[in-house]
Amino acid sequence: MTDDHRVGSADDAPLDQAIRRMVGALVEAAPEPPPLPTPGVTPAPTPTHEQDRRRWSAVAAAMLLIVGGVGWWMAAGDRDPVQPVATEAVPVAHQAIRWTQEVELPCEGGAGAGTTAIELELWVDVAGERVRQQATYADGAVRNQIWEGSQDHPARKFERGSSSYVAPTCPRWGAAAVDNTPGMMGRLAGPGPDLTPGDSSGRRIAVPGEHTDEIGRSAELVREESEGTAQLDDGGPAGSVPFRQTLDWYLEPGTGRLLQSTFRIELEGVYTVTTTTVVLADEDVAVARASFDTDGYELVYEAPAFDGRHATAEAVEPTVQVGPDRYWPSDPTAGDDPETSARRFATEVLGWTGSEVVTAPGPDDGGAWEVTVDDRRGHSVELTFVPIPGGWELLRIDSGIIDSSIAPDGNTQLDLPFPVGTTELVVEGHLDPGGRRAWRATIEAATAGVILPETTDDPMKLLILLYRDAEGRTIGAATVGGGRLRDPSTITTEAPGS
């Protein structure tokens, strides 16, 4: 820190000291953090989000609103009584969410039908890079999860308690699609862009009229509707199944803050799932530092350590059409079955002509279909496809563990094992923000990872990694996804607190 960036001057020293004392007194007046769960009950995880930095201003503002221990505390609201505090308080972003799921599951032997309700609370300690989520289930079970680092790419993850959530599944179709909004604070920022009632953007329309959310708050309503045909090939006669889905966002007038989101998806004759997220509190509070203590928690994940050096990639022109919402293809009409899609991927992306394609006899329980592509030169990749309207989507390429984290310079860092013979790594991707991007890096024996320049702030990313040998041939591939930002329209099969 240089003097040039310090505030004040020597003449201001008394004032600075007075302000410092005042701030200290205000911070000490902050209320205590939420209590830790009772031993033997359950907790759940928390997300970081794209507005972390901006939230800090509100956090700071909140800290200074606590005067004399009395009460203009912005946060706790009615749910957590304000308590005297606590020198060990830390400012956090806090959300309380009521998440409900209603499932009609006409299949025999299915699970998870009916109504499920989960109360979720999230605390994000931005400065401390820790996230805690607590999920309370209808049967009284509670689970806490704590992430150190980011939620997407944690250095460590801890759990305490267990989930009693049952994902809706059918033996024939696998898991139903549900909206996991509560697990992603970044997604709670609303749908954007701002729309005037009656206007539309893409498939989204601002619905005219007066609207209220489930708990009676006046709201602006933005709706996205889509329909089509899902290829659900279970070997039975169903084949194409019509689907309809609606995603509603109820936004606070004036601020655009998300009050509620409701996602409904119907696969005709298969299932109907409606998930509703009601934001009960979205505020900046101070909690006891001990709220993030992991005593009594089980360490369930620890990122691998890498000692080798990292190569900095150089930007190159993209050649693979990585989509904003899927790795490949950006055009969902790429193939009408997994084998066709895999052959096209091998030819167009891997550059493998005349490769051998071996398709699994059927999909797994989740509807995913595995395909092995061999280049007949001793290299192969394991591809997994899932059905989407009009075709098949590459879900992932199986490979060794690839850790995506933030490099010291703020850029995206990939730590990964390289197949023997790799001399070059080509990364083709789609970033949000950033759009389509590509990089190449020279790989040496000691290279442990690659840093992708101009990818600060951990953007949402979908990356296809292509390992090349000295002759420029692709000898392997991998996929990497994640990042802080989440597309509100993304549908996943992962439920909150599950």
* Residue numbers at the binding site for other proteins (CB under 8 A): 1-2, 5-8, 12, 15-16, 18-29, 53-54, 56-61, 63-65, 67-69, 72, 127
CB of 233 to other proteins, least distance (A): 47
SS3 content of the chain, % helix, strand, coil (to 5): 10, 45, 45
What distance in Å separates the CA atoms of residue 12 and residue 3, rounded to the nearest whole number? 14
Sign of the C-alpha dihedral computed for residues 481, 366, 385 and 261 taken in this order: negative
Of 326, 334, 337, nearest to 369 (Cα)?
337
Task: For tokens 């490979």, name the residue.
Answer: 399
CB of 29 to other proteins, least distance (A): 6
| Helix 13-28, helix 52-65: angle, nearest 10 | 90
CB of 19 to other proteins, least distance (A): 5
Which lies closer to other proteins via its Cβ, residue 90 or residue 478?
90
Which lies closer to other proteins via its Cβ, residue 51 or residue 294?
51
Those residues whose C-beta lies under 8 Å from the C-beta of residue 270, and which sit 6 or more positions away, are: 106, 107, 170, 173, 232, 238, 241
CB of 493 to other proteins, least distance (A): 34
Which of the 8 DSSP states describes residue 11?
A: G
What distance in Å separates the CA atoms of residue 373 and residue 348, rounded to the nearest whole number? 13
Which lies closer to other proteins via its Cβ, residue 20 or residue 79?
20
What distance in Å separates the CA atoms of residue 263 and residue 273, rounded to the nearest whole number? 8
Which lies closer to other proteins via its Cβ, residue 54 or residue 376?
54
| 3-state secondary structure at position 346 | helix
Which lies closer to other proteins via its Cβ, residue 57 or residue 319?
57
The number of residues in the chain equals: 498
Which lies closer to other proteins via its Cβ, residue 27 or residue 290?
27
Bridge partners, residue 137, by sequence: 118
Token pair recorded at residue 387? 């059905």
Bridge partners, residue 204, by sequence: 201, 224
Cβ(318)–Cβ(175) below 8 Å: no
Q: Longest Cα pair distance anywhere in the chain, in angstroms?
A: 84
CB of 62 to other proteins, least distance (A): 8
CB of 2 to other proteins, least distance (A): 8
Which lies closer to other proteins via its Cβ, residue 12 or residue 331?
12
Q: What are phi and psi of 25, to 5 degrees?
A: -65, -40
Amino acid at 387: P
Which lies closer to other proteins via its Cβ, residue 68 or residue 236?
68
Which lies closer to other proteins via its Cβ, residue 85 or residue 103?
85
Amino acid at 170: C
Amino acid at 276: T
What distance in Å separates the CA atoms of residue 338 and residue 65, rounded to the nearest whole number? 58
Which lies closer to other proteins via its Cβ, residue 26 or residue 107?
26
Helices (H) and strands (E) in the chain, counts: 3, 27
CB of 84 to other proteins, least distance (A): 9
